[in-house]
Structure 1
């Protein structure tokens, strides 16, 4: 039996490569004669750069950039392959880079995307680079990309012309920008987003993702209002319609960084679709009998353009059953089936609780895979 193992990363516990290895280890315990193809993937969020570097090769450039909380720096990298620079926003402003746990409203309101702009500036300064692809997802910030654009020459200013501090909440006082964002002429900008949420409203960056970043209801409301003000200023500065920019699909990705890069002329693509193409998922599925995918939490957000939907739809096109192994599962069978998922299994439920599974993420994922091999393999 030929099986493709194509997971995303599992939150902050397992990389996509580690998750694929854990699933393969467990499956082989029960069905050692099956032919397994490990194909770790990403959707633009955490792990995007590692997956592409593994598949495409290329040259990594190291750079110290501003981290998600102002005043701190983090080590980040960007990748160049045949004139295209690949950047993972989470390398500069990822949730995993916030040292405090649990996250709180203070960090949620103050986190910045400035480091992403510093990566873009470095990439576009390279004469070899003709296009820049920015993977969006897994961010700690909800600043509408204001920090990133500040690093590209468009600082947000208040009514007096003073530069605002970093973070989303300060944008409530935004009255203008210090200039237009600067990218080298002729550089193509591509946004590889992990979700299709707009910038504002009940499906927007603050409302949907703010609570995951520590924002309480009051902070969510304040961030949404601040982003509404900022997008009006930004749209005016670049000659765009503010309502159109606020409602654009993927504008809410990475805390609104999607909207900022769209304002710079960025072209939106599906992060999972791009990785699907570059990593050869379709060719792998052409000869598969079963595909296994997964992520940390299989929930309703997974159905809005994340990796599982890309893998499941590609499998469904070929009549190949697709199973999801996730840390936790909150998607119903009908909703899962609507995107091509045959069945979904929770590691936490199988292990006897979330604490047990988190204590040994690789081991408990392997154990679930071993049990599923007994149910699904035709050659145990």
Structure 2
């Protein structure tokens, strides 16, 4: 059999290349003669830059930027390929940079996207760069990109004209911006977003993604109101309709950073779709018999434009079965089938529990792949 193994990263436990290698290892235990092609992928979230660098080559530029909490610096990079710069938001403001014991309401209110603005500024300063593609996803922040835009000159001010501290909660006191965000030359922004959520409301940045960052119900309500206040100031600064900004699909991506980049004239594209195109996934599937993909959690968010959806759509167009090997599975069979997924399997269930699977992520993923090789070859 000719099999394409095209997973995303697994929620901070395995990178996409590590996951692909584990699946391949398990499969080969049963079918060493099968032709396996490992094609690790990403949507706009964690691993976006690594996958693109592996596929496109280019030059990585290392930068130290402000991390999401307490102003502590973190190491990040941006990738230059011709006149295009690629940035992964999660490198500067990702949830993986915040230990689980620190994901509480206070830190959820204060998390900052400043480092992302510093990455954008660094890439934009290169005179050869005309387009900056920002991968959105896996964020620790819920500040509507306010701190990122502050780096570009759009500093949020209170009624007295004083700069506000970083963090989403402080934006409740935002009266205006010091000016519109400014990029050098004619640099264009592209948002590679893994979700289509708007900035505000029950499907917005705070309500949907805030809880995983430590926000409780009261904090979600506080952040949603604060982001609404900031959106009005941002819309005024860029002469845009506030309602258009707050309801735009993808505006809620990466804690609302999507809305900030849209306000800068950014164009939104599917992160998974972009990687699908640049990685040559469709061409790889043209000669395949089976597709294996996966991520940390195959849930309802997976069906809203994330990587598994892109892989399954490409497989379905060619009449290929697509199997999902995920850390956990909460999507029903009917919903999975509608997305083009033949079957979905949980590593945690196969390993006997979440703790067991997390104790040896690569080993338990390989064991699941080994079992599936036996089933599907029969």
Identify whether the pair has TM-score above 0.5, normalized to the shorter chain.
Answer: yes
Paired residue secondary structure (2:101) = coil
Contact 1:78 1:87 in 2 (8 A): yes
Superposed, which structure 2 residues align to 1:155-194 within 5 Å? Answer: 155-194=155-194
Superposed, which structure 2 residues align to 1:107-146 within 5 Å? Answer: 107-146=107-146
In the alignment, what sits opposite 1:342?
342
Superposed, which structure 2 residues align to 1:16-31 within 5 Å? Answer: 16-31=16-31
Deviation at 1:102, TM superposition (A): 5.1
Contact 1:144 1:257 in 2 (8 A): yes
State the distance in 1 between where 2:99 and 2:115 align.
16
Q: TM-score of the superposition, structure 1-length normalised?
A: 0.99
Paired residue secondary structure (1:87) = strand
State the distance in 2 between where 1:28 and 1:15 align.
20
Deviation at 1:86, TM superposition (A): 0.2
Paired residue secondary structure (2:150) = helix
In the alignment, what sits opposite 1:357?
357
State the distance in 2 between where 1:263 and 1:103 align.
29
Deviation at 1:136, TM superposition (A): 0.2
State the distance in 1 between where 2:194 and 2:114 align.
20
Question: Where do 5+ consecutive residues of structure 1 fail to align?
Answer: none
**Superposition misfits of 4+ residues, deviation over 3 angstroms:** none
In the alignment, what sits opposite 1:255?
255
- CA shift in 2, pair 1:357/1:202, >3 Å: same
In the alignment, what sits opposite 1:238?
238
In the alignment, what sits opposite 2:224?
224
In the alignment, what sits opposite 1:83?
83
State the distance in 2 between where 1:293 and 1:178 align.
46
State the distance in 2 between where 1:13 and 1:165 align.
33
Deviation at 1:128, TM superposition (A): 1.3
TM-superposition CA deviations, 1:108-154 (whole Å, max 9, x none)? 11101010000000100001111100000000000000010011111
Deviation at 1:185, TM superposition (A): 2.7
Deviation at 1:100, TM superposition (A): 5.1
Paired residue secondary structure (1:85) = strand
Deviation at 1:162, TM superposition (A): 0.6
TM-superposition CA deviations, 1:33-58 (whole Å, max 9, x none)? 11100000000100000000011110
Deviation at 1:32, TM superposition (A): 1.0
Question: Are 2:88 and 1:96 aligned?
Answer: no
Contact 1:45 1:89 in 2 (8 A): yes
State the distance in 2 between where 1:304 and 1:236 align.
30
In the alignment, what sits opposite 1:310?
310
Question: Are 2:334 and 1:331 aligned?
Answer: no
Query: What is the Cα-based RMSD across aligned positions, in Å?
Result: 0.8
Deviation at 1:377, TM superposition (A): 2.3
TM-superposition CA deviations, 1:175-221 (whole Å, max 9, x none)? 00011101123111100001111100111000000001000000000
State the distance in 1 between where 2:200 and 2:304 align.
16
Contact 1:70 1:166 in 2 (8 A): no
Deviation at 1:71, TM superposition (A): 2.1
Question: Where do 5+ consecutive residues of structure 2 fail to align?
Answer: none
In the alignment, what sits opposite 2:51?
51
Paired residue secondary structure (1:272) = helix
Paired residue secondary structure (1:291) = strand
In the alignment, what sits opposite 1:274?
274
State the distance in 2 between where 1:11 and 1:365 align.
13
